[in-house]
Amino acid sequence: MTAMQYRPFCLLIGLLCIVNVHAQQRLWYSSPAKEWEEALPIGNGRLGAMIYGGDHEEEVQFNEETLWTGEPRSYDRPGAHRYLDTIRELLDRGKQREAEALAMEHFMGKKSPSEDNAAWLKEIGRERSKSNGPASFDFNDSGWKSIAVPSYEGWEDVGLEGVDGAVWFRTAFHLTETDVQSDWVLDFNKIREQDFTYVNGTLVGHKNGDQEKRVYKIPKEQLRVGRNILAVQVINLTGKGGIAGYKDTAQAIGLRNANGRFIPLAGTWKYWIQNANVPKVGVYQASYQPFGSLRFVFPKGTTREYRRSLDLDRGVAEVRYKQDGVSFVRSYIASFPDNAVAIRLSADLPGRISFSMTMDSKHPQHRLYKLDEHTLALHVKVKDGVLEGTSFVSLKLDGGKVYEQDGYLHVERANRADIVLTGATNYKDFRHISPDYLVRAKAHHAYVHKQSSDAIWQRHDKDYRNLFHRFSIQLGHPEKDNLPTDERLRRFVTEDDPGLVALYVQYGRYLQIASSREGTQPANLQGIWNHLLEPSWGSKYTTNINLEMNYWPTEMFNLSELHDPLFRMIRELSEAGKSTARSYYNARGWVLHHNTDIWRGTAPINHANHGIWPTGGAWLVTHLWEHYRYNQDTAFLRAYYPIIKGAALFFKDFLVRDGHTGWLVSTPSNSPENGGLVKGPAMDHQLIRALFNIFVKSSALVGEDQSLRDSVNTMIPKIAPNQIGRYGQLQEWLEDIDDPENKHRHVSHLWGLHPGDEINMDSTPALVEAAKKSLLMRGDDGTGWSLAWKINFWARLKDAPHTYKMIKMLLRPAGKAGGSYPNLFDAHPPFQIDGNFGGAAGIGEMLVQSHAAYIDILPALPEQLSEGHVKGFKARGGFEMDFHWQDSRLSGLRIRSTAGNLLRVRCGGRAVEMATVKDKIYQFDANLNLLN
């Protein structure tokens, strides 16, 4: 094909993409959301909202990024470093349990202050001693409320959200004359966290701790023919509470006798909250909190032609339906320029917009009040901490009237209604709160309320399109776009749907735009969305994979600015981590362990068997370097160089010489969440080598610290190397102790394969094969984010069929082991957003890889995605490319050099190496022949 023939062809392909791309960029459903995981997310980095889309009752549940529990404080245990050498010595002698026990006592971070609970426990214990109390057979519980039992994710999941304290549960079971001739065993599995369990008024069991299995023997002498009463006092001081049962609900809680007869106890029980005023209990870190809900009530009617959608092309959620011959439309955006959620209600006939609107919150301490005739305000204060916040919602009407009554704004017969919601908290930064935040919050809302509604929507549109439209992707044909998204998800288990794969990529980009904008907090475990007062894992920042995974797609998918919140966090963590480095390791520089929160805790938390992992900072530094590799911005590198240097200094002091091998090793540490406290996990050494290499290169680029650079350079080859074990696997630890039956969700020792690059097919083929063996041993299944990571691994191995298999597993309806919810949120389960971002990045790795010697085009393309087009894909070295393919072969390639670097590109066994000029565009044909 000549150059003149090629250009019209390329133009034609581009036009075809434009025609089809809009249809592929919409999630849509034919009914309102019933569960939170079915609602549609909008966000602007600061405010996030979930749209349920009810036709009669609508909920818009919203968050503000800085509403957390906790307060500014020191997380470090002073003098912990005095125990470091002993812990190391115990590990060196193989005494892991002793090392973990010593570390639990002296090496974990400080919890927040606790209050003495002895008097409280004594008081609530009196209820157990009453002869006619809740434990007794004859107690009248008819006035008690009902609740579902068990609830593995805590009683918060079934109606007792925000409750800590003492709660009684009662139920009845019936026995025959034969039944009472034998002893029985009661199996609750887990209770969170202390229980006193009674049968017919007699105590049959008591344990403390949510990891203790509750299996209690019931002697036949305590049983009755006919009705028997089971009563349980559950005491939960913090976190999730209740009768948990089994995570796998196929295993029922219940009673069993020696003859094998089983009486299930799952179902509706009676309950009574005895006392919810629990003394404060110290916690290691804070939790992200929901703010409130905006609620609407619309006139009832017969709904037809209902459609709920999220238009990724415009960043707009919509609800459309017809009632009584009138077409109604509700549109929702979260505007970054105006820091507000905006909602527009309209109809195709005048005077048909009537509704009532209010706000509420799950926080026990909340207050709703009227600010003026068009504005309501909601004030909330978190239960455990110093933070509070205020949200305002205002109305603007075209026609009709509005009045306030009983906490509702009532609108009658308007032509159109525009609503703006804003919110702010007294969080200032990780060391301070702002006592005068409300003045600024009111002023901001007043400013937004005065703006033209059309102008707010126009500014959002311009801002959003500037980011989203830099990149486009089309895979296959759009024949399944006419199906609801939840139906497509169900069908994808057995059918191919290339358009759904493309949609997932764009949805990942949308979620990042919505949850991570310049000047905001980075996306946490749930991005910016959370509806629970007790979110799983605190909805925090887990830095042994999850936080980093949130930003894997940022650079490749042309959203570099959205890395800014993570970089700001890294800067703050580098400040907080200096104290931790001194307190725990008597080291220079800064350190971060496996978790952090809005107050930037950097100390070890939770348990010694997984919380003492000092390489979180090293991993985060790689994101600084990746940003440089993609954008070639030396000014950025210079600005963050002191942070890179500080991380390197820490590990220069931290590494010790192993007496058995002579290598420099990381100790104490762990291979994330697997195998307990150890010395020398492979992941640590991969990360530290990467960090040292980054420091050496950065130091040279900015022209500083040559002597330190030389010293660090000499240490790199002394760090314990990657090793291949007896099964041909990449060893996870210093010793060859990998278990081929271990199916743990973490595959941390393959960090060097992805997101690292020291294990690659160009320079380390033997290690690549060992990594592949480790993946096969670990197995395909896993939680949502684990599936996403495996997509990236198999793409880096250039195994297209296996990569596609993992995509199919990620994009399956959510179950016990990962998948996706109806709104395409990733299922850990429960929801974690890292799988969305990691999965999108893995699909990107299938199409372009630029981590090794060449930019590889279509390195792991499965046959099910045999045709497509991508525009605006970024590669390391300062390149941006558009390309398309047909019949699994490249059809054309266009590359813009943004830095003027050497271009090395490869596809289908052909390779090109050439000098480039900054900002010049280079076009290639299917065989990588240069056309201009």
Ordered by start, the domain boundaries in the chain are 31-70+286-469, 118-275, 516-721
- What is the arithmetic mean of pLDDT over 887-913? 97
- Under a CB-based contact definition with an 8 Å cutoff, are residues 163 and 155 in contact? yes
Spatial distance between the Cα atoms of 910 and 908, rounded to a whole number of angstroms: 6
Spatial distance between the Cα atoms of 294 and 773, rounded to a whole number of angstroms: 51
| Residue 803 one-letter amino acid | T
Ramachandran area for residue 476 (φ above 0: left; ψ -120 to 50: alpha; else beta): left
- The yes-or-no verdict on residue 10 having pLDDT over 80 is no
Report the sign of the C-alpha dihedral through residues 110, 604, 529, 472, in that order: positive
- What is the arithmetic mean of pLDDT over 35-43? 97
Q: Is the pTM of this model over 0.85?
A: yes
Residue of 471, 535, 533 lying closest to 505 (CA atoms) = 471
| Residue 294 one-letter amino acid | L
10 Å CB burial of residue 570 (0-12, 13-18, 19+) is: buried
pLDDT of 385 reads 94
- What is the arithmetic mean of pLDDT over 647-656? 98
Q: Reduced to 3 states, what is the DSSP secondary structure of residue 909?
A: coil
Q: Residue 379: which residues within 8 A CB-CB, separation 6 or more? A: 366, 367, 369, 388, 389, 390
Spatial distance between the Cα atoms of 155 and 149, rounded to a whole number of angstroms: 8
Q: Residue 602: which residues within 8 A CB-CB, separation 6 or more? A: 75, 76, 573, 576, 577, 579, 580, 590, 591, 592, 593, 596, 616, 617
CA 643 to chain centre: 25
What does the H/E/C string look like for 261-320? Answer: CEEECCEEEEEEEEECCCCCCCCCCCCECCCEEEEEECCCCCEEEEEEEEECCCCEEEEE
Residue of 298, 297, 335 lying closest to 316 (CA atoms) = 335
- Under a CB-based contact definition with an 8 Å cutoff, are residues 695 and 645 in contact? yes
pLDDT of 24 reads 57
Spatial distance between the Cα atoms of 330 and 303, rounded to a whole number of angstroms: 14
User: Residue 17: which pLDDT band, with cuts at 50, 70 and 90?
Assistant: very low
Spatial distance between the Cα atoms of 287 and 541, rounded to a whole number of angstroms: 10
Residue whose pair of structure tokens reads 């990360």 in the numeric block? 687
Spatial distance between the Cα atoms of 648 and 640, rounded to a whole number of angstroms: 13
CA distances from 184 to 204, 220, 256 (A): 11, 7, 6
Q: Reduced to 3 states, what is the DSSP secondary structure of residue 28?
A: strand
Element (H, E) at 764: none
- The yes-or-no verdict on residue 756 having pLDDT over 70 is yes
pLDDT of 250 reads 85
150-168 pLDDT, tens digit per residue, is 999 899 889 999 899 999 9
Spatial distance between the Cα atoms of 135 and 232, rounded to a whole number of angstroms: 7
Q: Which CATH superfamily is domain 118-275 in?
A: Galactose-binding domain-like (2.60.120.260)
Token code pair at residue 829: 């389960």
pLDDT of 15 reads 36
903-922 pLDDT, tens digit per residue, is 999 999 999 999 999 999 99
- The yes-or-no verdict on residue 601 having pLDDT over 80 is yes
10 Å CB burial of residue 863 (0-12, 13-18, 19+) is: exposed
Task: Could you please state the CATH topology (level 3) that the domain comprising 516-721 is classified under.
Answer: Glycosyltransferase (1.50.10)
User: Residue 498: which pLDDT band, with cuts at 50, 70 and 90?
Assistant: very high
CATH of domain 31-70+286-469: 2.70.98.50
- What is the arithmetic mean of pLDDT over 517-521? 98
- The yes-or-no verdict on residue 724 having pLDDT over 60 is yes
781-836 pLDDT, tens digit per residue, is 989 999 999 999 999 999 999 999 999 999 999 987 789 999 999 999 899 999 99
Q: Which of 70-79, 240-249, 376-385 has the lowest mean pLDDT?
A: 240-249
- The yes-or-no verdict on residue 5 having pLDDT over 50 is no
- Percent of the chain exceeding pLDDT 90 equals 93
Q: Residue 358: which residues within 8 A CB-CB, separation 6 or more? A: 294, 295, 368, 376, 407, 408, 409
Spatial distance between the Cα atoms of 241 and 152, rounded to a whole number of angstroms: 9
101-150 pLDDT, tens digit per residue, is 999 999 999 999 999 999 999 999 999 999 999 999 999 999 999 999 99
Kindly provide the b/e burial profile for residues 469-480, where b requires at least 16 CB atoms within 10 angstroms of the residue's own CB: ebbbbbbbebeb
Token code pair at residue 405: 């009554």
Residue of 675, 661, 665, 605 lying closest to 88 (CA atoms) = 665
What angle is formed at CA 618 by the lines to CA 613 and CA 622, rounded to 5 degrees? 140
Element (H, E) at 330: strand 326-335
User: Residue 633: which pLDDT band, with cuts at 50, 70 and 90?
Assistant: very high
Spatial distance between the Cα atoms of 852 and 846, rounded to a whole number of angstroms: 14
